[in-house]
Chain A
Amino acid sequence: MSPELEIRLVESMRPLFGDFAESALQQQKAKLGMRHSMGRDEYLRLVEEIKAMCSVIAGPSIADRLYQGLVAIVQEGA
């Protein structure tokens, strides 16, 4: 996957996570035991986790919208 993928994911998370967008992404990666060289399926698992976290902080409706955007980014990057 492109190294720019995570930058795009973080930017997409910024409206909901603000300055904590990158920390949130890294925290979920660590939680899933993910390191470097992640493939498409791992990123899809990651965005599922981000959706769950977003649902807590902003509700299921906007979490779903974020999720759709993140999945699209992962699919484009695959």
Chain B
Amino acid sequence: MVLEKVESVATVPRIRSYVYNLDEQMEGGIPKGFVVLVCGRPGSMKSSLTYFMMHMQALKEGRRGVYFTLEQNRASFARHLSHIGLDPDASDRVTILDVSALRRTFGDRGPKGDTNWLEAIVSQAASFKSQYECEIVAIDSMSALYSLHEFQNPRRELFHFFEGLRALDVTIFLISEMFDPTKEIFARYEVEDFLADAVIHLKVDRRDGGSNLYLGIVKMRETRHSRDYFPLIVEPEGFEIVPH
């Protein structure tokens, strides 16, 4: 019985992060089909890390992905990625989809003035998957999405949002900004980390005029993972954590 359980855990298909030394800390990668919250304060490289993982999956394993950017425009994001050595044109398998441009052109309320953005983004991701066969979806950011959606009952609506995402049967990265520097609140409504299958937390430690990044796996279902925070290094060759 125990042996069977161990085998089933070991055979969960996983998506490698390609962050050097990280996959070893989580049984080889993120379980395929998980909804992953990537959270941190401004400047913690949430978007860059997420795009890096998608970029490497495309280059090394041919997996297609779509990265929805709700506030930063595509050109600006692409320039930023180029500065850290990631060329968005190196692979046509990751599409950066500039929802901010659509918002600027057509307005935030949608064509009929009553767009439910939580449903609309899930529906668009489903439509993208159906036509272009993607396996990874990123939504940047949750705060931007929340600014477009008028919640009546956040807990209930977010439950259905996460279930809708999970039903897509792709691996999802949700980028979540943490605003309160005094608290470890991973997302605005404080239920997102319960609803997500995994939480990756990026910390910025600013002291003595310096700034260091740390990465911690706060939660990852179906995975024996380290709960330590590791120094995160960004090199021209890619991201790397330094194990203890």
Contact = CB atoms under 8 A, between A and B. Distances in A.
A41 B35 CA distance: 45
B189 interface: no
B98 A57 contact: yes
Interface stretch (A1-9, A14-22, A32-40, A44-52): A14-22
A19 B115 contact: yes
A16 B74 contact: no
Contact of B110 (A20, A24, A58): A20
B88 A19 contact: no
Contact of B106 (A16, A20, A56, A59): A20
A19 B127 contact: no
A15 B130 contact: yes
Interface in A28-78: 56-59, 61-62, 65
Contact of A58 (B74, B89, B120): B74
Interface residues of A, number: 19
A15 B124 contact: yes
A65 to B, nearest CB: 7
B179 interface: no
Interface in B202-218: none
Interface string B128-155: 1011100000000000000000000000
A26 B43 CA distance: 39
Nearest to A12: B131
B86 to A, nearest CB: 14
B234 interface: no
B124 A18 contact: yes
A17 B123 CA distance: 11
Nearest to B93: A61
Given A20-B102, A20-B110, A15 B131 contact: yes
Interface of A: 12, 14-20, 22-24, 27, 56-59, 61-62, 65
16 contacts: A14-B127, A15-B130, A20-B102, A20-B105, A20-B110, A23-B106, A24-B102, A57-B74, A58-B95, A58-B96, A58-B97, A58-B98, A59-B95, A59-B96, A62-B92, A62-B132
Interface of B: 74, 88-89, 92, 95-99, 101-102, 105-106, 110-111, 115, 120-121, 123-124, 127-128, 130-132
What are the 9 A-B residue pairs with the smallest beta carbon separation, nearest first? A61-B92, A18-B124, A15-B128, A15-B127, A57-B98, A15-B131, A57-B101, A23-B111, A14-B127
